[in-house]
Chains A and B, each alone.
Chain A
Amino acid sequence: MSASAQDTAVKTGRIARSLIYLVLIVFALFYLLPLYVMGVNSLKPLAEITGGNMMALPRVWTLDAWAAAWSTAQIGIEPTGLRPYFLNSIQMVVPAVAISTVLGALNGYVLTKWRFRGDTILFGLMLFSCFIPFQIVLIPMAVVLGQLGLAGSVPGLILVHVVYGIGFTTLYYRNYYASFPTELVRAAMIDGAGFFRIFWRILLPVSGPITVVSVIWQFTNIWNDFLFGASFGGTSQPMTVALNNLVSSSTGVKEYNVHFAGAILAALPTLLVYIVAGRYFVRGLMAGSVKG
């Protein structure tokens, strides 16, 4: 009947089709439920939460909880809100993502286009770093940071995340550049372009998809990291640690609405990155993995 409207020659009955959509919608709603609960409750006064239904819409709409979470909530012993920690996180994430991505791109370039004796072993070892659990390196890392005089500072955290991220970014770029024709590099060599010029003018302009992958991956991982932040953050702890201090404080009244608002604030940047660049993410991953 309506089969002509479908793209394929395979006919699916109306009932089957409706069932499929129904199931999909139910699951979508189910997955959206936590966001709904967080959103709704962050917009209520505390009394409405403690005295009422978590699922209900607010009777009084208010942004007080958001304002509190941002600038006045008690974090540890200081009533600063999440704002300074948010800035810490930004100061940490931006350079860490940029540096690890640039280094990964250079590594991938060298490992595919300027091959040398033992390059596969080196790459294997770098790959190995993707499988090392965070906890194992805590103590050695603390020692190194101490010796470098970077303990408890934002630059220290940047260093930790760069070192940890290079394995992944190198993997991405190496696989992406492996499918990049070497003849182009040779042509550029004959044309007189040097190492960095070839990278900058020939490879980088076509590295968009894989750069998106690398940036999203690094951004989410570094932004969401708690362990390194709690261990090496010192006085400049990132957002995740502050959120924990806000939410799991054991004294005073539990301000659930503030907690919800704080949690959304903490998740917002990664959410934004996904929404902006998400569709390139899958494309880039496919380009890197399938062709490489």
Chain B
Amino acid sequence: MGFLDISNVTKSYGAVEVLHKVDIAVEEGEFLVLVGPSGCGKSTLLNMIAGLEAITSGDISIKGRVVNDVHPSKRNIAMVFQSYALYPNMTVAQNMTFGLEMHGVPKPERDLALADVARLLQIEPLLARKPGQLSGGQRQRVAMGRALVRKPDVFLFDEPLSNLDAKLRVDMRTEIKKLHHRLGTTIVYVTHDQIEAMTLSTRIAVMNKGYIQQLGTPKEIYDQPANLFVASFMGSPSMNLLPATVVAHEGALHAGVTDASGALRLLRFSAGTGPRGHVGREIILGIRPEAITDPEGADRKSGNIQPFPNLVGITEPSGADTFVTSEIAGRDCVARMRADADVRPGQAFEFAVNMDKAVAFDPVTELRIG
């Protein structure tokens, strides 16, 4: 039994079911991120936790109390909206204390709470302004302040950073993470940005088409994606997914893929991994770009670096890294190398593949098999 329990929750609009039996138990102090493409049902789920949308079946409980029929204001939650939803006719101070006022908290207490949060977020100079006089980042802070003042059990964030420009978004991301560290509050956070999900969360729920595809720590999600959807959705550039055959060779499992010249090359799976029982069958081999490097840049801790001679397609220097594209199994395969790796387009090059990090998927069921 968690702090916030979502058990068997479904949502239907008429005959159309948009959320199918969602089950998540969130512990106190956890930072859960719901991530997925638009239309996956993540915002609907958040609104159901908030009480803004009715639950078709199943239960949502906070601190052991089922809140299905409890009014949003009585659930002791606070929400930060994508558009910030600051009341345009009120000052920042009035915005932040409106909730307390509605809950009948006396003025002196409201002022104390306001002063605390304003100091925490460093927005004291803004308190007398109207939202229209604030910049995007300031509005964001005020919106978070309004949530904090209430001291709720659960914070709900609905894509709070998507209206900010790129630099500010990164700053605010750090800010939110710091805040979570300092206050240890329970947070459910919706985003479509997988980097936000990875950096902020203690756990991620990847959603697609109304189903939870995988629920786990960022590391689990990244290193052991449950299926092809999770593998391709999380990570940028995304995981290389290459058609391969499973070959047993010298007593070990290998993935057989063709290189740019069409010749079959074998990549040995690390001991204890790989799709046992699929020998001779087609699989999808998943390798993250950073697991394909130049030999000098290969991970020294890895026990299984496989050489892979191939022709270099194009190179894309990004400053910090150089992305090298080459053709494997008829697909463009991206490798992430050190910026000073000596690679030129068209050159024959020996790539180093870290097979410790390789995963395999069944092409039919799309589930991970090794």
Contact = CB atoms under 8 A, between A and B. Distances in A.
A binds B: yes
Interface of A: 181, 183-184, 186-193, 197, 201-202, 205-206
B132 to A, nearest CB: 11
A190 B87 contact: no
B83 A190 contact: no
Contacts of B81: 183, 186-187
A193 B74 CA distance: 11
A220 to B, nearest CB: 28
Given A186-B52, A190-B50, A190-B72, 6 more contacts: A184-B88, A186-B85, A187-B85, A188-B98, A192-B99, A193-B102
A189 B87 contact: no
A187 B158 CA distance: 12
A184 B87 contact: yes
B82 interface: yes
B76 to A, nearest CB: 10
Given A186-B52, A205-B89, A206-B88, A191 B102 contact: yes
B133 to A, nearest CB: 16
Interface in B41-86: 50-52, 71-74, 77-79, 81-83, 85
* Most chain B CB inside 10 Å of its own CB: which residue of A181, A192, A197: A192
A202 B87 contact: yes
Contact of A192 (B79, B83, B102, B146): B102
Contacts, number: 55
B102 A184 contact: no
B103 A187 contact: no
Interface string B179-217: 000000000000000000000000000000000000000
Interface of B: 50-52, 71-74, 77-79, 81-83, 85, 87-89, 98-99, 102-103, 146
Given A183-B82, A183-B83, A197-B102, A190 B88 contact: no
A28 B112 CA distance: 62
25 contacts: A181-B85, A183-B82, A183-B85, A184-B87, A186-B50, A186-B72, A186-B79, A186-B81, A187-B85, A188-B98, A189-B52, A189-B71, A189-B72, A190-B52, A190-B72, A190-B78, A190-B79, A191-B73, A191-B98, A192-B73, A192-B103, A202-B87, A205-B89, A206-B88, A206-B89
Nearest to B53: A186
B75 to A, nearest CB: 8
Nearest to B74: A192
A130 to B, nearest CB: 30
A193 B90 CA distance: 15
Nearest to A184: B85
Contacts of A181: 83, 85
B152 to A, nearest CB: 9
Contacts of B50: 186, 190
A183 B73 CA distance: 15
Contact of A190 (B77, B82, B89): B77
Given A183-B81, A186-B52, A191 B89 contact: no
A197 B99 CA distance: 12
Nearest to A203: B89
B272 to A, nearest CB: 50
Contacts of A187: 79, 81, 85, 87, 146
B87 A188 contact: yes
A17 B332 CA distance: 67
B238 to A, nearest CB: 32
Contacts of B51: 190
A187 B77 CA distance: 11
A29 to B, nearest CB: 43
Contacts of A183: 81-83, 85
